[in-house]
A = this chain, B = another copy of it.
């Protein structure tokens, strides 16, 4: 039982960032948490401006995460922040997360979790050692109809899965946007911030995570063809990957940042022996369900015709669209439940709470390393 608002601290997420404000809205929407501190930017002015926007007292707007963790950990029980949200570029996730865990804070971290598989594995060990909670925001798993897809695919209604087709096309990097100084483009296309991959790391990793989340299968081998279409760029801005899953299923994964006109077109289809499903982010309240023996069904969020798991993730009646923030908030909702259990002194198995964990982060980094390796070898099949 939660008997007070959770106290949150944030690293990164200045006002001009995209994902920080999404995390804040997702955490605040239900009135079950409050932002109490932050190190929002390396620029003190930006950090202060961000903190003031959230009515933080100025002494809890910190110069950097080290200071924040050092000060906060010494605050008394009734005041100290409960957990830390990490929304910086990829390359600093590892260091900040390790420091947060070391300081005794639970963590919510944006993806991809690290820039190397080795770091991801170290982080996994650290989480285990500390017994703290770690939520990785693969946010698309928060959509109610993704949960319906998962219930269906894992519940056997589709029969043995044969084929996965997943894609995440975007068009925003079709030109050399980073040359204009646009911040989102700058760090994602810079190997120093992004790691070994741009497009695959940023959005291909969501495809990988969603595929495994929905089907329960594991990718065991892949063949990747990454490309850099825009001149002057060093990392991939488009890539396709053939997948083989552990049960023999085959997959195609396509991620692109140069697909002119595409916005955030995450789309997954799963085909089994008896049925199939299709879900796309731009129509998130709908899941198409197909069966050998009947006409296609259009399952809709929050109707009586979806599973308990899906219903539980829905918060308004059908036809009133839920969106990106609502799905994101579902991760926080589940994380808060785990937090309440932890605070009540119960032993928490994070997998019971249906949010992505440090293990998803390790899995994601294993995928990305394999993709890069395969592509660099000219498109060879490699095992995960």
B-binding residues in A (CB < 8 A): 3-5, 18, 21-22, 24-25, 28-31, 34-35, 54-55, 158, 162-163, 165, 167, 170-172, 174-175, 223, 225, 227, 229, 238, 240, 242, 244, 250, 252, 254, 256, 258-265, 269, 271-276, 281-285, 288-292, 294-300, 303, 305, 315-326, 378-379, 381
Contacts of A281 in B (CB 8 A): 319-321
Inter-chain CA distance A229–B271, complex, in Å, is 11
Q: Which residues on B sit within 8 Å (CB–CB) of A242?
A: 223, 225, 240, 242, 379
Q: Which of A35, A258, A263 has the largest number of chain B CB atoms within 10 A?
A: A263
Check A22 against B325 for contact (C-beta < 8 Å). Answer: no
Q: Which residue of B lies closest to A320 (CB)?
A: B324
What is the distance, in angstroms, from A384's C-beta to the closest C-beta of chain B? Answer: 15
For A54, what are the chain B residues with a Cβ–Cβ distance below 8 Å?
31
C-alpha gap A53/B53 in the complex (Å): 25
Cross-chain contact of A55 among B4, B225, B319 (Cβ < 8 A): B4
The 8 closest A-B pairs by CB, nearest first: A263-B319, A261-B290, A264-B319, A323-B323, A321-B323, A320-B324, A295-B305, A263-B318
List B contacts of A167 (CB < 8 A): 165
Complex Cα distance, B273 from A229, in Å, reads 9
Closest residue of B by beta carbon distance from A319: B263
Contact check: which of B3, B35, B172, B256 meets A271 at CB < 8 Å? B256
